[in-house]
Amino acid sequence: MYVIKTLSERDNGRLDAVSAPTSPAGVRSAAVPALVVADLIAHLVEFTDLAPDTCVFLGGLGGRLRRSNSRRATHWRGTVQRGRASTEKGKST
């Protein structure tokens, strides 16, 4: 996956328009572990329009996630706890 455009949220909550990164260093690849590729593709098919510039993750009503709501919108705490429980369950003792 490549990051070729950015959307910045300012301290006042305003979202800057999607734009190219301000330096060549901002254009980068993002590693996606093989373990999650199939799930990521299924997510993109179900929840996005598959355009090359689509947001990968959106809120429940289809809006962009923001700093102020991303943990709540993704149920982050419960997701992490389920992941830990799953990992612990898979460990041999």
Q: What is the pLDDT of residue 42?
A: 92
Q: What is the pLDDT of residue 90?
A: 65
Domain residues for 82?
Answer: 2-90
Q: What is the pLDDT of residue 30?
A: 81
Work out how many domains the chain is built from and give that number: 1
Q: pLDDT digit of tens for each residue in the chain (93 aa)?
A: 777 777 777 788 777 766 777 777 777 888 888 998 999 889 888 888 777 777 777 777 777 777 777 777 777 888 888 888 877 776 654
Residue 50, sorted as left (phi over 0), alpha (psi -120 to 50) or beta, turns out to be left
Q: What is the pLDDT of residue 46?
A: 87
Q: What is the pLDDT of residue 91?
A: 62
Q: What is the pLDDT of residue 93?
A: 47
Residue whose entry in the numeric block shows the structure tokens 């700093």: 67
* CA-to-CA dists, residue 38 to 22, 28, 43, 79, 80, angstroms: 32, 22, 9, 18, 20
